[in-house]
Amino acid sequence: METKAKSSLKVALEALRKEAKAALKAAATKEDLEAVRVEYLGRKGKITAMMRGLKDVSAEERPVIGALANEIQEALSAELDSKLEALQKEELGEKLKSETIDVTMPGTYRPMGGRHPLNKVIADICKIFAGMGFEVIDDDFCPEVETEYYNFEALNFPEHHPARDMQDTYYTNVGSNVLLRSQTSNAQIRYMENNPLPIRVVSPGRVYRNEEVNSRKFVLFHQLEGLLVDDGVRFSDLKGVLHEFTRQFFEGERPTRFRTSFFPFTEPSAEVDVQCIFCSGNGCHICGHLGWLEILGAGMVDPNVLQNVGIDPNQYTGFAFGMGIERLAMLKYSINDIRLFFNNDLRFLKQFKGF
């Protein structure tokens, strides 16, 4: 009886193998293959159901039938995986054919932005001074939220000094002596406190003043301060550096002149004019028919400023200068309203693409 059961079970398994192989051969899609797997190899599949007949086979012959069943299962699984891989490759090939890209066709145009004109002018100025040996101070080194000491006192603006009235400063509620910096000169003090001589640096950054907003003034604007301190620095060195700067920035020989002025942190002090770039010195409404345009303030570092940072003014001298970035940008690109830099008007900004 058991031998007969074994024989019939073996015949049934072989027949099932042929049936499953035929089903695999006929499967044309991944969905068809999944259906074959479930029908023959699933938990409720035909091979599993057939193996329940092993209970009627003798203990000695049961391993032979079990081994045959495992062999059939493994062979079917291997064939199923092979067929699935072939179908996937065929599907990928068809997809590649249908999605072929003609690399000679022009791409879809996507308009790209450009550098803001102020960022470009700052980069141009820094590049010019770097070419003359100046290091650019990272603006993170010089905070925009500053104390009165670094913004005024260390720069020779003592308390109640009338020169403080020249700058209508924004004070904060953080503390009675905490403010938004009104000039980037705080960078000079912080740098001299922490670095050895000689010093040759420029420091661009944002500054804030409580100004009446109009075409020439804004409550936020940008400055760039320059500082050189060494043994034997003279006023003529300052004149040479600034003349070379104007020549490179305005892309051509441009006469400059120095007019006597006053700044608490420099002595002597001067305001620097450049020959009008619109009328070449002949006089026009832009320069008030004077032939000259003011671009920056400068002077020799006051001995008190050097003493405040521990530098002996009897041994070392230096010069400093400060310029408004917006003013220079307006002159170079003939812009007549400072507010255009901050309005985010694409009609204005698009004019500087590619600069």
Domain limits at 285? 118-352
Query: CA torsion 40→45→51→55, rounded to 10°?
Result: -170
Q: Are residues 70 and 148 in the same domain?
A: no
Is 309 inside any structural domain?
yes
Q: Name residues of the chain where pLDDT drops below 70.
A: 1-7, 50, 52-62, 162-167, 354-355
Task: Looking at the structure, tell me whether residues 87 and 154 fall in a common domain.
Answer: no
Whether 41 maps to a domain, the answer reads yes
Do residues 217 and 211 make contact, with C-beta atoms less than 8 angstroms apart?
A: yes
Q: How far lies 100's CA from each of 88, 103, 107, 237, 301, in Å? A: 18, 9, 14, 66, 69
Cα–chain-centroid distance for residue 17?
A: 64
197/231 Cα distance (integer angstroms)? 9
- CA dist 79 and 25 (Å) reads 9
Count of residues making up the chain: 355
CA atoms of 166 and 179, how far apart (whole Å): 16
SS3 276: coil
Q: Are residues 90 and 135 in the same domain?
A: no
Q: Same domain for 84 and 125?
A: no
For 184, 237, 250, 310, the CA distances from 314, given in Å and listed in that order, are 26, 18, 37, 12
Closest CA to 265 of 184, 203, 206, 199: 184
What single DSSP character describes residue 206? E
Q: Name the phi and psi angles at 106, rounded to 5.
A: -65, 145
Whether 80 and 175 map to the same domain: the answer is no
Domain shared by 60 and 138, yes or no: no
Separation of alpha carbons 248 and 238, rounded Å: 16
In a domain, 107, yes or no: no
207 and 323 belong to one structural domain: yes
Residue 265 lies in a domain: yes
pLDDT of residue 1: 44
Total-model pTM: 0.66
Distance between CA atoms of residues 146 and 157, nearest Å = 15
134 pairs with which residues across the strands?
none
In a domain, 8, yes or no: yes
Same domain? 174 vs 319 = yes
Q: Do 84 and 141 belong to one domain? A: no
User: What total number of domains does the chain contain?
Assistant: 2
CATH number at residue 210: 3.30.930.10
pLDDT at position 270 is: 96
In which order are the strands placed within the sheet that holds 266-275? 135-136, 199-208, 220-230, 317-324, 292-301, 266-275, 256-263
Q: Is residue 105 part of a domain?
A: no
Which pLDDT score, from 0 to 100, does residue 100 have? 75
Measure CA of the first residue to CA of the last residue in the chain; give whole Å: 97
Final residue of a domain: which of 39, 63, 98?
98
pLDDT of residue 18: 82
pLDDT of residue 177: 85
Q: How far apart are CA 40 and CA 13, in angstroms?
A: 11
- Whether 111 is in a domain gets the answer no
Sequence-distant (≥ 6) Cβ neighbours of residue 302 within 8 angstroms: 156, 264, 265, 266, 267
One domain, residues 252 and 343: yes
Residue 113 is assigned to a structural domain of this protein: no
Cα distance between residue 72 and residue 20, in whole Å? 10
Q: Are residues 127 and 272 in the same domain?
A: yes
Same domain, 134 and 92: no
